[in-house]
């Protein structure tokens, strides 16, 4: 988690400039590790209530201040405390069945009209199609990087409809979906 925290500092530095989180009273980073991404959102939107949701062992080691920290497991359920959720580089770790359950639990936790921000590498939007990233994912997680269309399909299966997507940085995009 410390290594992921370090690369996240650069990867998510401009997230609050690229996506408009000011339209939300509350945002939760699900599987957010030590909270770099949600801290960047909070810094640009100080009146927004920001939640960090992760496994108990991660939250217990998190030194981040100014966030509401919630212990849990996104496979078992996500608390219904926020009108928007950010899932960053989570779904690519899981096969389609497990990815569906994570997205399904996100869907169930946000109110009607709530927004899910899905941050991933979309292979069809990358010059090299993320071939080495997919190989790494296959070796480590027994999964692979997906195309934009594959992520859209998973979101539609979980009940979301797609609002659009935006480029976040050199590799990642934000796919915006609405309940």
Among 41, 37, 43, CA closest to 24: 41
| Structure token pair of residue 113 | 């009209």
Query: How far is the CA of 82 from the CAs of 6, 12, 34, 49, 113, in angstroms?
Result: 26, 20, 19, 8, 12
Identified catalytic residue from 1, 24, 92, 173:
92
Active site residue 104: no
The helix/strand count (H/E) of the chain reads as 7, 7
| Structure token pair of residue 160 | 């979301």
Among 91, 88, 84, 69, CA closest to 143: 91
Pinpoint the alpha helices (H) of 48-128: 56-60, 96-109
Task: Cite the active site residues.
Answer: 92
């Amino acid at each position: 988690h410390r290594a992921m925290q370090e690369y996240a500092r650069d990867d998510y530095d401009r997230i609050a400039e690229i996506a408009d989180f000011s339209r939300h009273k509350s945002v939760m980073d699900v599987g957010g590790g030590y909270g770099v991404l949600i801290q960047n959102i909070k810094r640009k939107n100080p009146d927004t209530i920001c939640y960090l949701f992760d496994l108990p062992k991660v939250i217990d080691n998190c030194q981040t201040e100014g966030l509401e920290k919630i212990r849990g497991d996104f496979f078992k359920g996500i608390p219904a405390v926020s009108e928007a959720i950010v899932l960053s580089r989570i779904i690519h770790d899981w096969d389609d069945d497990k990815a569906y359950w994570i997205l399904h639990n996100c869907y169930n936790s946000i109110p009607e009209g709530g927004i899910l921000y899905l941050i991933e590498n979309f292979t069809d939007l990358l010059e090299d199609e993320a071939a080495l990233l997919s190989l790494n994912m296959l070796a480590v997680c027994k999964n692979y990087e997906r195309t934009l269309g594959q992520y859209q399909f998973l979101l539609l299966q979980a009940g979301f409809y797609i609002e659009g997507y935006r480029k976040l940085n050199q590799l990642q995009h934000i796919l915006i979906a609405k309940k």
